[in-house]
Amino acid sequence: MIKQILRAALCALMLAFVPGGADAAPEIIEADGVYVMGDSDTPKTARDAARTEAMRAATERAGIYIESTSEVEGYALTRDEICTVAAAVLRVLREEATPELVGDAWRYRVHLVCSVDTEGIDLKELASSKAELARLTQERDALKEQNDTLRARWEQAKPVTPTVPVVIGTPPAAATQQDLIFQDAADMIERGENEHAIADLSLLLQDPAVTGDARAYAYVLRGRAYYERHANALARADFTAAEHTPHTNSAYPIWRLYQYRGLIAYNEGHYADATNDLMSAWDASDKTDDELWMSLRRAERRAEQDRRHAVRGDGGARSWGIVIVP
C-alpha cells in the first residue's frame, strides 16, 4: 500500500527535476487525431473523439520528453506515472479542427500545438511533498500490518473463476467489487481518512485490468483525496489523467474532476481556467448542485473583474468622472 503512495508522491517530485522555470523555454509538441464519422455520429462527437486521440498522442510525446530530460536517481518510474506527470504539465496552445470528405464518409482531423510547461507546477508545494515523502517512509513499518489487510481485502475482491458456463452479457463480478471499493474510498474521504483512500485507490490503479470508466473514476476519487490534503499538484495530475482516460459519465460522475480542478484553479487565482472547468462540470451535471452553481458564479465574477482590469487597468471599478475643482 505505502509503496503506491510513495510512487504517487514521486510523480510530483519528478517535476522538480524537469528542466523548466524562468530560464527554460517550454517544449513545443504537435500531435494529430483523426476520427471517421459513423451513421450515428454528430460533428461534435466526431470532433471530440479526434481531439481525444490528439491529446493522447500529445501526452505520450510529452511523457517521452519528460522521461528523457528528467533525472530521478534510484527510482524506476512506470509508464502510468510518466503519463500522469505529462498530463499535468501539458498545455494546449493552438487547436485546429478540419472536416474532410473521404469517399462517402466525413473525417475529422484535429491538430494540436502544445507546450510541456513545467512553470505551471508549484515548486513550493512539491518541496512540501518531499517532506511528506520522508514522513511516509518513516511510517512504512507502522503501516505494514494495514498494508497486509488491504492486500487480503483485494484478493477477496477478485472474481472467482466460475464452475459453470457464464452467459454472455452477464455483468462481471469484478464490477460489483469495484463499486464497493469506490464506496469505501468515498466514505473514507468524507471521514477525513484521505491517506487510506489514496492507498486503496492506488492499489486498484495498479491492476491493468481496470480500464475505461472504472479507471477514470479511480483517478477522480484519488484526486479528490489529494485535493482534501491540499496536495494540488498531485490532485491536478489525477484529474487530468481521468480526463484523458476514455470514459463516459453513465456509470460514475467522472465529470466531478472539472469541479475540483476548477476549485484548485480558483484558489490559485486562475479565475478564467476555474470558470472553464466549473462550467464543464455544470454542463455535465444534472443542474441541481447549488454548491457547484455558486462556485461557478463566483469564478465568473472574478474572471470578469480580471478581464476589465486587463482592459482598463482599474480592477473593473466604475469611473464616475469626478472632477476636483481648485
Please state, in angstroms and as integers, the Cα–Cα distance from residue 260 to each residue in 36, 64, 100, 203, 295, following that order.
33, 28, 37, 22, 10
Contact present, 177 and 159 (Cβ < 8 Å) = yes
Rounded to the nearest 5 degrees, what angle is found at the Cα of 79, between the Cα atoms of 75 and 84?
Answer: 95
Express as a percent the part of the chain with pLDDT over 70: 63
pLDDT tens, position by position, 225-249: 999 999 999 999 999 999 999 998 8
Q: Which residues pair with 91 in a beta bridge?
A: 115
Among candidates 273, 276, 193, 201, which has minimal Cα distance to 242?
Answer: 201
Q: Which domains does the chain have, with CATH numbers?
A: 17-120 (3.30.1660)
Predicted confidence band at 84 (pLDDT cuts at 50, 70, 90)? low
- Taking residues 265-278, report their average pLDDT: 94
| Other residues' Cβ atoms within 10 Å of the Cβ of residue 21 | 10
Say yes or no to pLDDT of 30 above 80.
yes
Cα–Cα distance for residue pair 32/112, rounded to 1 Å: 6
What pLDDT band is residue 80 in, cutting at 50, 70 and 90? low
pTM metric for this prediction:
0.48
Q: How far is CA 320 from CA 305, 310, 317, 323, in A?
A: 17, 19, 9, 9
Q: How far apart are CA 223 and CA 206, in angstroms?
A: 16
Higher-pLDDT residue of 164 and 143 is 143
Which tens digit of pLDDT belongs to each residue from 47-70?
Answer: 888 888 998 888 888 878 767 765
First to last CA, the chain: 75
If you compute the radius of gyration of the chain from its CA atoms, what whole number of angstroms results? Answer: 22
109-131: per-residue pLDDT in tens? Answer: 999 999 886 565 543 454 455 45
Each residue of 187-203: b (16+ CB within 10 Å) or e? ebbeeebbbbbbbbbbb
